[in-house]
C-alpha cells in the first residue's frame, strides 16, 4: 500500500514538474462516465478518469498512466496504476527502465514492477535483462503471491528481412515458496522470421518455448504470410500448446485442457475494390482434451467486409461470426459504422447473436450502441453515447454515457 502511494506521488510530482523542464512533453486525460443499472438492478454511475503523462529531457524519460474509478451511488472507489516508468539512457549503448512497465518479450505479455535493462552491444543486437513482480489489476495491487519473473532475451534489431530472438525466463509463481518445480517455470525459447525477397514476399515465422522445469514443450508455433497479389494477403498458422500439469499456477488453459492442444488458423484479405471494399474471412480450428473422456474440436469463423468512403468520412464494417466448441455454438452478425464530418464524428454498432450452450441455455443477445462526438480544439473531444443491450435470459439494459478527452502532443 505505502509503496503504491509513494510511486504514485513520485510520478505526480515528476509529471507536474515535467512541462517546465522537459524538452518534450505529452499528456492526455479522459473522463468516461455512464449511467446504468447494475446486475442487482441498482442504479449506478461509474466514472473512470484516466491521466497519462510523459516527458523527455536529455537522457531521462518518464511515463505514467493511471485510472481513477468512482461510483457515487455505491460509494465505491478504485485506482489502477498501469505504468509508472523512468527510462534512463546514460549511454547510446545502454538503456534502463525502472518502475511499473509492460513487457512482452517471452511467453507472455505482463505488467511488472521491476527493472529492465537493454544493452546494444552491436549495431544489430539488443540484449534485454529484466526482473520484477508481475502485476495484475484484476486481483488488486501488491499481492505477495504475485511471484517473480526474471528473464533475458537477445534479439536482432534494425535488420531488413530476418528477425530473430532467443530468450530464457524464470518465473516463480509464489514469491517465497521453494517448491521446485511446481512453483517454477523455466522457459527457454526462440523466435524467428524471414521475409523472402521474391515475388509474393512470403514471410515465414516461428516460435518455440520449452519449459525446462517441467521438461515439456509449452508452445510451438509456425506460420506464414503471403502476398500473391497487391490486393491479396494470406496468413496461415499452426500451433501446439502443452502446459505443465504439475504446476501450482492455474491457468484457463489448465482448466479446459488435460493434454496438449492443437490449433490451426487461416485468413485472407482481398481488396475487392481498392480503397473502397475489402473482404476478410478468418477461420481457426482447435483440438483439445477437456476431460479424460476424450478430445473435442473448436471452430471459429469470422467474415468481415469493411467498406470505406474516405472522401465522405464514412466507414462501414458488416461482419458475421460463428463459434463452436463443446460449450455450445454461437452465430452472430454485427455492423459497425463510423462517420467523421468536419469536427463531428458518429459511431454506431449493432450486434446480434444467438447461443446454444451445453447448459441448455438457448439465448439471444442484442446490442445497439451509438456515440456522437465533437472536437472542440484539436486536442479536446467531447462525446455522448447511448446503449441498449438485451439478452432474453439474463439482462435488459439501457445506458447513457459521456466521454471527455484531452490530448496534448500525444501520438497513439
Partner 1 sequence: MVLIRSGLLITILLGCMSMAAAKAKHPYDKYDHEMHNSFFESAEVSCEMCHADPDSYGNRKKVNRLGCHRCHNDPAPILPANPDCMLCHEAGIPKPQNHKTRWIAKHGSISKQAPETCKQCHPSTMFCMDCHKRRDTVQERMHTRNFRFYHSVEARANPRKCDSCHRVSFCQDCHAGKETSGR
For residues 132 and 163, the answer to whether their CB atoms sit within 8 Å is no
286 vs 173: CA distance, rounded Å: 28
- 361 touches ligand HEC by CB under 6 A: yes
Q: What's the burial of 292, exposed, middle or buried (CB within 10 Å: 0-12/13-18/19+)? A: exposed
For residues 133 and 160, the answer to whether their CB atoms sit within 8 Å is no
The footprint of ligand HEC on residues 239-278 (CB under 6 A) is 252
Q: How far is CA 247 from CA 112, 135, 175, 401, in A?
A: 21, 19, 15, 43
Q: Where are the alpha helices (DSSP H) in 218-312?
A: 252-256
Judged by beta carbon, residue 59 or residue 74, the one nearer partner 1 is 74
The footprint of partner 1 on residues 300-329 (CB under 8 A) is 300, 323-329
203 vs 214: CA distance, rounded Å: 32
- 76 touches partner 1 by CB under 8 A: yes
Nearest approach, Cβ of 212 to partner 1 (angstroms)? 18
- 22 touches partner 1 by CB under 8 A: no
Query: Which window, 62-70, 86-94, 180-188, contacts partner 1 (CB under 8 A)?
Result: 62-70
C-beta neighbour count of 54 within 10 angstroms: 22
Please measure the distance between the N-terminal and C-terminal CA atoms of the chain and give it in whole angstroms: 31
Q: Binder to partner 1 among 193, 258, 340, 348 (CB under 8 A)?
A: 193
Judged by beta carbon, residue 139 or residue 358, the one nearer ligand HEC is 358
- 358 touches ligand HEC by CB under 6 A: yes
The footprint of partner 1 on residues 282-301 (CB under 8 A) is 282, 284, 286, 288, 290, 296, 298-300
For residues 383 and 403, the answer to whether their CB atoms sit within 8 Å is yes
Nearest approach, Cβ of 108 to ligand HEC (angstroms)? 4
Nearest approach, Cβ of 355 to ligand HEC (angstroms)? 7
Cβ within 8 Å of residue 12, ≥6 positions away: none
Q: Which helix H or strand E contains 236, and what residues bound it?
A: strand 232-241
For residues 254 and 243, the answer to whether their CB atoms sit within 8 Å is yes
- 139 touches ligand HEC by CB under 6 A: no
Q: Which partner in ligand HEC, partner 1, none is near 228 (CB below 5 to 8 A by kind)?
A: none
Query: Which window, 21-29, 232-240, 275-283, 353-361, contacts ligand HEC (CB under 6 A)?
Result: 353-361
Judged by beta carbon, residue 131 or residue 193, the one nearer partner 1 is 193
Size of the site for partner 1 (CB under 8 A): 130
Q: Which residues pair with 311 in a beta bridge?
A: none
What does the binding site for ligand HEC look like in residue numbers (CB under 6 A)? 104, 108-109, 252, 327, 357-359, 361
Amino acid at each position: 500500500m505505502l509503496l503504491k502511494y509513494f510511486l504514485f506521488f513520485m510520478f505526480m510530482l515528476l509529471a507536474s514538474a515535467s512541462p517546465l523542464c522537459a524538452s518534450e512533453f505529452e499528456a492526455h486525460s479522459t473522463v468516461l462516465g455512464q449511467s446504468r443499472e447494475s446486475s442487482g438492478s441498482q442504479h449506478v454511475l461509474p466514472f473512470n478518469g484516466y491521466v497519462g503523462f510523459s516527458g523527455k529531457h536529455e537522457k531521462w524519460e518518464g511515463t505514467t498512466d493511471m485510472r481513477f474509478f468512482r461510483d457515487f451511488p455505491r460509494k465505491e472507489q478504485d485506482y489502477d496504476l498501469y505504468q509508472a516508468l523512468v527510462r534512463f539512457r546514460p549511454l547510446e549503448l545502454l538503456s534502463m527502465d525502472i518502475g511499473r512497465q509492460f513487457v512482452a518479450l517471452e511467453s507472455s505479455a505482463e505488467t511488472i514492477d521491476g527493472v529492465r535493462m537493454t544493452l546494444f552491444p552491436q549495431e544489430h543486437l539488443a540484449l534485454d535483462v529484466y526482473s520484477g513482480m508481475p502485476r495484475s489489476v484484476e486481483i488488486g495491487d501488491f499481492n505477495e503471491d504475485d511471484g517473480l519473473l526474471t528473464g533475458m532475451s537477445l534479439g536482432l534489431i534494425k535488420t531488413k528481412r530476418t528477425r530473430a530472438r532467443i530468450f530464457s525466463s524464470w518465473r516463480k509463481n509464489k514469491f517465497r515458496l521453494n517448491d521446485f518445480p511446481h512453483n517454477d517455470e523455466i522457459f527457454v525459447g526462440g523466435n524467428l522470421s524471414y521475409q523472402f525477397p521474391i515475388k509474393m514476399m512470403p514471410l515465414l515465422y516461428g516460435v518455440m518455448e520449452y519449459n525446462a522445469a517441467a521438461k515439456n514443450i509449452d508452445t510451438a508455433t509456425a506460420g506464414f504470410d503471403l502476398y500473391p497479389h497487391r490486393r491479396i494477403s494470406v496468413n496461415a498458422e499452426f500451433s501446439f500448446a502443452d502446459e505443465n500439469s504439475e504446476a501450482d499456477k492455474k491457468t484457463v488453459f489448465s482448466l479446459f485442457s488435460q493434454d496438449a492442444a492443437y490449433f490451426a488458423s487461416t485468413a485472407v484479405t482481398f481488396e475487392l475494390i481498392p480503397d473502397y471494399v475489402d473482404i476478410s474471412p478468418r477461420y481457426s480450428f482447435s483440438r483439445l482434451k477437456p476431460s479424460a473422456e476424450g478430445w473435442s474440436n473448436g471452430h471459429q469463423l469470422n467474415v468481415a467486409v469493411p467498406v470505406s468512403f474516405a472522401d465522405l468520412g464514412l466507414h462501414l464494417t458488416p461482419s458475421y461470426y460463428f463459434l463452436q466448441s463443446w460449450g455450445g455454438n454461437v452465430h452472430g452478425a454485427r455492423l459497425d459504422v463510423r462517420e467523421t464530418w468536419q469536427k463531428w464524428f458518429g459511431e454506431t454498432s449493432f450486434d446480434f447473436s444467438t447461443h446454444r450452450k451445453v447448459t441448455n441455455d438457448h439465448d439471444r443477445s442484442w446490442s445497439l450502441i451509438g456515440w456522437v462526438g465533437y472536437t472542440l480544439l484539436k486536442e479536446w473531444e467531447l462525446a455522448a453515447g447511448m446503449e441498449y443491450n438485451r439478452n432474453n435470459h439474463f439482462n435488459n439494459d439501457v445506458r447513457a454515457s459521456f466521454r471527455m478527452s484531452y490530448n496534448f502532443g500525444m501520438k497513439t
